[in-house]
């Protein structure tokens, strides 16, 4: 990571880290920051992963077996509204996550306008980063449905107003 920043001539003196308060995100951030050495680290609750409600921590193939009625309703929503808008039982839809992420974008703008932070490292989760990119670039829900979820520790690069995708995929 440090070599990558040097190769790209990234000035880390005006850098800030934002991260989800979830433990695994904190741990990932701490590992990356061993190389970045950024002292300004902040957390924001809007950066947490999508809430899966009844389906939390269950393999997707078990959803219909364990909760047939709830899964049927979820599938009905997916069929009628699309995957982006379908809310998980007692949980969130990607649309709900996008609303949270939009709130965080005000923080990004304030970081730049008030504090001159022009380099941000955001440690978050798959659905959250995809909805961030979607909102930032005004991509459609169809783009969200087609974009792949990152694997653990994948990095999505946005530079000079361009979505450069995952740099280690």
- More confident of the two residues 89 and 151: 89
Q: What is the pLDDT of residues 22-69, one digit of tens each?
A: 999 999 999 999 999 999 999 999 999 999 999 999 999 999 999 999
Average pLDDT over residues 119-142: 95
Exposure of 74 by Cβ count < 10 A (0-12 exposed, 13-18 middle, 19+ buried)? buried
Q: What is the mean pLDDT of the chain?
A: 91
**Predicted pLDDT of residue 169:** 47
Which of 110, 111, 120 lies closest to 38, judged by CA?
120
pLDDT of 6 over the 60 cut: no
Which of 125, 51, 42, 119 lies closest to 88, judged by CA?
51
């Amino acid at each position: 990571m440090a070599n990558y920043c040097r190769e790209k001539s990234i000035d880390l003196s005006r850098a800030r880290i934002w991260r989800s308060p979830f433990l695994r995100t904190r741990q990932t951030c701490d590992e990356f920051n061993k190389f970045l050495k950024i002292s300004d680290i902040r957390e924001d609750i809007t950066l947490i992963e999508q809430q899966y409600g009844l389906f939390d921590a269950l393999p997707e193939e078990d959803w219909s077996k364990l909760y047939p009625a709830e899964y049927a309703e979820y599938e009905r929503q997916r069929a009628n509204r699309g995957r982006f808008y379908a809310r998980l039982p007692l949980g969130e839809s990607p649309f709900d996550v996008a609303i949270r992420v939009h709130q965080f974008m005000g923080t990004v703008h304030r970081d730049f306008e008030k504090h001159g932070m022009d380099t941000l490292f955001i440690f978050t989760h798959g659905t959250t980063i995809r909805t961030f990119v979607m909102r930032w670039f005004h991509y459609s829900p169809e783009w969200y449905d087609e974009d792949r979820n990152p694997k653990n520790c994948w990095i999505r690069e946005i530079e000079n107003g361009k979505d450069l995708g995952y740099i280690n995929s």
